[in-house]
Amino acid sequence: METRASFLHDTTRSAQIYKEAARWIPGGVTANIKYFEPYPIVMESAKGPYLHDVDGNQYVDYNLCYGALILGHGHPALSSALQQQLSQIGTAIFGTPHKLETEMARKLADLYPSIEQVRFTNSGLEATLLAIRLATAWTGRTKLAKFEGHYHGSYDQVLISVNPHRRDLAHPPSPTADSNGLPDYYAENTVVLPFNDLDQTADILKKHRHEIAAVIMEPIQGGFIPPDPAFLRGLRELTREYGMVLIFDEVKTGFRIGLSGAQGRYEVIPDLTALGKVLGGGFPVGAVGGKKEIMELCSPAGRTDILTTDSQPAAHEHTTPLFHSGTYNGHPLILAAGLATIETLQTGGAYQQLEESAMKLRTGIEQLLNVHGIVSQTVGVGSIFNLVLKEGSVRQIQDVLESDLSLRKKLDMHIVSHGIFIKPLNRFSISLVHTSKVIDETLERFEHGVKRLVR
Ligand code: PLP
């Protein structure tokens, strides 16, 4: 079996461009996630399901900008919406309210059971940040509970336990082990919970019941590890009982696993929802939606209502309006792209097609790896899945960490070298232009990659 961690195809130009980039950009990348060894491949153009790199190699794209591009690259519905919007409004942005903001907010309220009102942001990161600020203002409490390994954007508190290397639940992880260089304040104010383990989660929440403002979670961990429905329902009950704001971070799952995201699929309704990725049709966007009374903490609506539940008294009576602003919030072109994306997804059978394509690819990959003696399983929901090289159930991030990650990395290098683009170790996302024919072509490429790996 080959063990080199290098590309098998010609990526000379990528290497040159990356070397130059690293002179001017730290690590040569504008986001950690874009880096992988030995260097990231530099792309030049894209169409439909395909990416083309600067060396002339073609790839079937399963990264799809980390899941955002559910219509693939350059979808005509998106291009025409953008052109029409530009020609109609005569500018990219007004810097004032405009009609598409209301149209999109109404659409989100129609589709997402938890959403009554919406604020727009420029990224998923900003959306989760605003949701946490709202929860803190609403409850008057300071601690945040988050789940082990769940990602909510690259900022302070939510980076705690993003890469858990060891179990350290209930107590904040030690700064050296896991705090990503953050001041102790964030670790001290963050409570880490185990996904899919209701008993332990209940114990931890009970212990901190007077301090925790919000529980934030990816309802489907990493976009691919499904929740036990009973776990989600139990968490909903616990957070309600303790007066904690339940935030579903649906940046990955919103519009990807269905028009109403994970909350629609599992029928568990959070207090606040963060959206991003697919919502912008490939452009930078985020949104927070939720209960009117919480959302109306945003200035200038700012109210002084009090959260009351059966067992948990009001948080505090003197809530001040929450400052939320952003030059580009609710950008007209991006909302036009988002609305065109949603409209396309609403046309007959889109999600069925996505799921069928994903299932065909998953089955094909599992069969190929099985034939070549590689222990593996695909784990996913709807049009996202990941490849986990181990037997047994995958219910938490620890199960993934215990799989054969080093073999997975080698496999990824081989499949990338054979024309399938994924970010090594990352999940696969499917788009509407990944037709049955494209999946067949992918499986052929995959087979060449695996054969080369095991020979
Ligand atoms: N939340 C989740 C679940 C995500 O997957 C991501 C990005 O991958 C974010 C938040 C941050 O979104 P953005 O990269 O748009 O800031």
pLDDT tens for 182-195 read 778 888 899 999 99
Q: Which of 55, 178, 197, 249 is the catalytic position? A: 249
Average pLDDT over residues 66-84: 97
C-beta separation of 404 from 397 below 8 A: no
pLDDT in tens, 4-21: 568 999 999 999 999 999
Angle at 140 between CA 168 and CA 118, to 5 degrees: 95
Question: Among the atoms of ligand 1, which is closest to the Cα of residue 128?
Answer: 10
CATH topology of domain 76-345: Aspartate Aminotransferase; domain 2 (3.40.640)
CATH topology of domain 12-74+349-454: Aspartate Aminotransferase, domain 1 (3.90.1150)
pLDDT in tens, 320-333: 789 999 999 999 99
Question: Among the atoms of ligand 1, which is closest to the Cα of residue 150?
Answer: 3
Question: How far is it, in rounded angstroms, from Cα 69 to Cα 21?
Answer: 25
pLDDT of residue 301: 87
- Ligand 1 mean position to 114 CA, how many Å? 19
Average pLDDT over residues 289-306: 83
Catalytic: 277? yes
Average pLDDT over residues 217-243: 98
**Ligand 1, atom 13: closest residue by C-alpha:** 124
Task: Tell whether ligand 1 has an atom less than 6 A from the beta carbon of residue 224.
Answer: no
Ligand 1 pocket test: which of 152, 158, 279 has the largest number of ligand atoms within 8 Å of its C-beta?
Answer: 152
Question: How far is it, in rounded angstroms, from Cα 151 to Cα 276?
Answer: 13
Task: Tell whether ligand 1 has an atom less than 6 A from the beta carbon of residue 252.
Answer: yes
Ligand 1 pocket test: which of 122, 277, 328, 384 has the largest number of ligand atoms within 8 Å of its C-beta?
Answer: 277
Task: Tell whether ligand 1 has an atom less than 6 A from the beta carbon of residue 249.
Answer: yes
**Ligand 1, atom 5: closest residue by C-alpha:** 252
pLDDT in tens, 12-48: 999 999 999 999 999 999 998 999 999 999 999 999 9
In the chain, what percentage of residues exceed pLDDT 90? 85
Averaged pLDDT score across all residues of the chain: 92
- Ligand 1 mean position to 154 CA, how many Å? 8
Residue 393 has pLDDT above 90, yes or no: yes
pLDDT in tens, 76-122: 999 999 999 999 999 999 999 999 999 999 999 999 999 999 999 99
Highest mean pLDDT among 4-13, 69-78, 299-308: 69-78
pLDDT of residue 274: 99
pLDDT of residue 308: 44
Instruction: Give bridge partners of residue 61 from the DSSP assignment.
Output: 421
**Ligand 1, atom 1: closest residue by C-alpha:** 152
Q: What residue ranges of the chain are covered by domains with CATH 3.90.1150.10?
A: 12-74+349-454
Q: How many residues does the chain have?
A: 455
Question: How far is it, in rounded angstroms, from Cα 280 to Cα 21?
Answer: 27
Q: List Cα–Cα distances, 365 to 63, 222, 361, 372, 432, in angstroms.
A: 16, 20, 6, 11, 19
Task: Tell whether ligand 1 has an atom less than 6 A from the beta carbon of residue 378.
Answer: no
- Ligand 1 mean position to 400 CA, how many Å? 20
Average pLDDT over residues 232-250: 98
pLDDT band at 309 (very low <50, low <70, confident <90, very high): very low
Q: List Cα–Cα distances, 408 to 37, 63, 199, 394, in angstroms.
A: 13, 16, 32, 16
C-beta separation of 320 from 302 below 8 A: yes
Q: What residue ranges of the chain are covered by domains with CATH 3.40.640.10?
A: 76-345
pLDDT of residue 400: 95
pTM of the model: 0.94
Structure token digits, residue 375: 């222990």
In the chain, what percentage of residues exceed pLDDT 70? 91
Catalytic: 249? yes
**Ligand 1, atom 12: closest residue by C-alpha:** 124
pLDDT in tens, 318-368: 467 899 999 999 999 999 999 999 999 999 899 999 999 999 999 999 999
Residue 270 has pLDDT above 90, yes or no: yes
pLDDT of residue 142: 93
pLDDT of residue 174: 45
- Ligand 1 mean position to 254 CA, how many Å? 11
Question: How far is it, in rounded angstroms, from Cα 333 to Cα 355?
Answer: 29
pLDDT of residue 179: 57
pLDDT in tens, 197-213: 999 999 999 999 999 99
C-beta separation of 59 from 421 below 8 A: yes
Catalytic: 151? yes
pLDDT of residue 165: 65
Ligand 1 pocket test: which of 146, 251, 257 has the largest number of ligand atoms within 8 Å of its C-beta?
Answer: 251
Task: Tell whether ligand 1 has an atom less than 6 A from the beta carbon of residue 125.
Answer: yes
Question: Among the atoms of ligand 1, which is closest to the Cα of residue 277?
Answer: 15
Question: How far is it, in rounded angstroms, from Cα 348 to Cα 444?
Answer: 30
| SS3 label, residue 125 | helix
